[in-house]
Amino acid sequence: MPKKKNLKLAFLLLFWMAVSLYPPHEIRDTAADVGILYAENVTGPAGRTVVLSADMVDPDHQELKKIRSEEYARGRPALSGGTLVTDRGTLLRGCRISTDASEKLPKRSEVSGIKRFGLNTIHLYAESFVRHQPGQLHTLVDSLVNWTERDSLYLVLTIGCLDQNGRYDYDFTMGFWNYYAPRYAARTHVIYEIHNEPHAWSPPYPDSTLAMERDAYTAIRSHAPSTPILLFSYAVPNNPAGILQDIGKLGPGIDRTNAAVGTHGYGITYSELEAMIQQVRNAGYGVMNTEPCYLDPNDVGSVNLFRQQMRVHEADHVSYLNFQDVTELQVPRYFLNVIEKTGLSWGPDFGDWPSPAVWDAYSKLEAEYYSSQGGPSGVIDLGSRIGYVSNGDYTVYDSVDFGEGAVEFAVFTASGGIGGTLEIRLNSPTGFLAGQVQIEPTGGWDVFVTKTGSVTGLSGIQKLVLKFKGGEWDLFDIDWFQFTVDPTAVRRASGETTLPNSILFCQNYPNPFNSSTTIRYRLMKGESIGFKIFDLKGRPVEWIDLGYQAEGEHAFKWTAKGLPSGIYFLEIHAGPVSKTKKLILQN
């Protein structure tokens, strides 16, 4: 019998936005910074105005100079490949700002700074029917529309619910869109999302909710015929048939070439998410996830589900807007660290993060940090291990650096089931077979042991595939794995009979990093070791003398004290031999 096979990981309905009240402010006009709309000095129904404090005015951030040089006026996003994409054809990837809850602006630099994290879109929960009148916070919204336009970012505008998710107010919705739709109709970087989670919780929606969606769509189109529109915004999109039913009920008046289905990521497993995306696309409609599950770095289950959904969106090419606030991005554990450990990378619109991670084969690799996975049932990321492994399933680890050669593979594994065989392959599940390890039952799913096996043909940077074979299901769990370097590989390749005076490999993690990074290296013989750090212009930043070190593996933690964000180069010297690595500092 399968163990715990009814796993759903249903993290239902995470409501956490703290509601804060802020008193009215007076205008301190900085029209040059906020642009045309704010300079009009208009007031909304409640006459609210805002102060732009000094830290909201764009500072001269060193790390953003290169990114700023790449800014340009964005063209309208378009449906392509079953999702909304940018004018460059890249996915819309973003984070949120909730003026409906805070009634204040974030720092100007925090908005600009999302580009350092590979993002290009702000998801703005602008106002809520719970506490506002339509247009009441227009000065805040105007500012963010202008800031994002200046920063070459996209902005998705929607109605928030505060603590009333699953509800809507028809009159507020119509008033909101009759106010804002014409206001930004000419702004090519703006997307309209009709309403955040107007019904609790899954499709199909009631006829009354669909009538609101249809009427709001018609109102928007009457004012903004060219602006892309996102419909529905399902909290729990686990019923593809219900989604298609709702689309059909909206009628033929919906222009599917410029409107897409909005979904969220609650109460749905990654396999259900993949199936929903595929079925909606097969029916000829676009889909975009405007609120994947919230990432709480203190909750293992939340981190697991976030990683799984990120992998689905990237693998299936679906645009998505993370539910991380712009202020949370400044804390590495809320986003940067999770992305790096997941091994995900993409071509950002600006800058060069997240660059593809290169994993050191000779350090312990956490099995759950796979780049992608597949097979008949797919493995499950359990936070500190992978599990629920069935025959034919596999995990993929992009860019594993084997240096000059590996001879042995070790895996920390447990099996309360029947055990099986772990195959080590390159490039694909049917690629070159470098080795295999037989894993017998260990006596329980929490009884871990180390198993080893020999490997051949592994050198340089490779795509590693671990494939699992055996009975039908529940073969074994894997915590981590590691390769052992072949110290004679360099000697054999060069024809030498003694160990060369050389550094076998040099890796650092994390990279990019915040404040400090650990450099790992292996010496072929004992040598005096030193590090030189240079900036992008070749100017020396620091010299570290570590003295004599013996043959073997070593690690050194470097802290970038007082240095601005940017690209640096580390040069490791072992006697007369040196190697250079690129380091990316992101404060």
Task: Give the per-residue SS3 of 309-324.
Answer: HHHHHHHHCCCEEEEE
Return d(Cα 552, Cα 161) in angstroms, integer: 58
Predicted confidence at residue 295, as pLDDT, reads 77
| Percentage with pLDDT > 70 across the chain | 83
**How many C-beta neighbours within 10 Å does residue 570 have?**
22
Instruction: Provide mean pLDDT across the span 46-68.
Output: 38
Instruction: Provide mean pLDDT across the span 133-142.
Output: 97
Predicted confidence at residue 38, as pLDDT, reads 28
Predicted confidence at residue 36, as pLDDT, reads 27
Q: What is the pLDDT of residues 85-105, one digit of tens each?
A: 999 999 999 999 999 999 999
Over 60: is that where the pLDDT of 311 sits? yes
Q: Which fold has domain 359-485?
A: Jelly Rolls (2.60.120)
Predicted confidence at residue 1, as pLDDT, reads 41
Instruction: Provide mean pLDDT across the span 498-517.
Output: 66
Q: Which fold has domain 500-585?
A: Immunoglobulin-like (2.60.40)
Domains 31-342 and 359-485 share a fold: no
Q: What is the pLDDT of residues 103-115, one digit of tens each?
A: 999 999 999 999 9
Which of 300-309, 316-325, 350-359 shows the highest mean pLDDT? 316-325
Predicted confidence at residue 440, as pLDDT, reads 94
- Higher pLDDT: 344 or 559? It is 559
Over 70: is that where the pLDDT of 33 sits? no
Predicted confidence at residue 2, as pLDDT, reads 43
All structural domains of the chain with their residue ranges? 31-342, 359-485, 500-585
Buried/exposed code over 5-33 (b: 16+ C-beta within 10 A; e: otherwise):
eeeebebeebeebeeeeeeeeeeeebeeb
Over 80: is that where the pLDDT of 54 sits? no
Of 59-63, 75-79, 202-206, 537-541, minimum mean pLDDT range: 59-63
Return d(Cα 83, Cα 81) in angstroms, integer: 6
Q: What is the pLDDT of residues 234-274, one digit of tens each?
A: 999 999 999 999 999 999 899 999 999 999 999 888 788 98
How much is the mean pLDDT over the chain? 81
Instruction: Provide mean pLDDT across the span 210-231.
Output: 98
Over 80: is that where the pLDDT of 77 sits? yes
Superfamily of domain 31-342: Glycosidases (3.20.20.80)
Predicted confidence at residue 510, as pLDDT, reads 79
401 pLDDT band, cuts 50/70/90, is confident
Of 74-78, 159-163, 190-194, 358-362, minimum mean pLDDT range: 358-362
- Higher pLDDT: 28 or 583? It is 583
Contacts 24+ apart (CB under 8 A), 355-358: 355/511, 355/512, 355/584, 356/398, 356/399, 357/398, 357/399, 357/511, 358/399, 358/400, 358/401, 358/461, 358/507
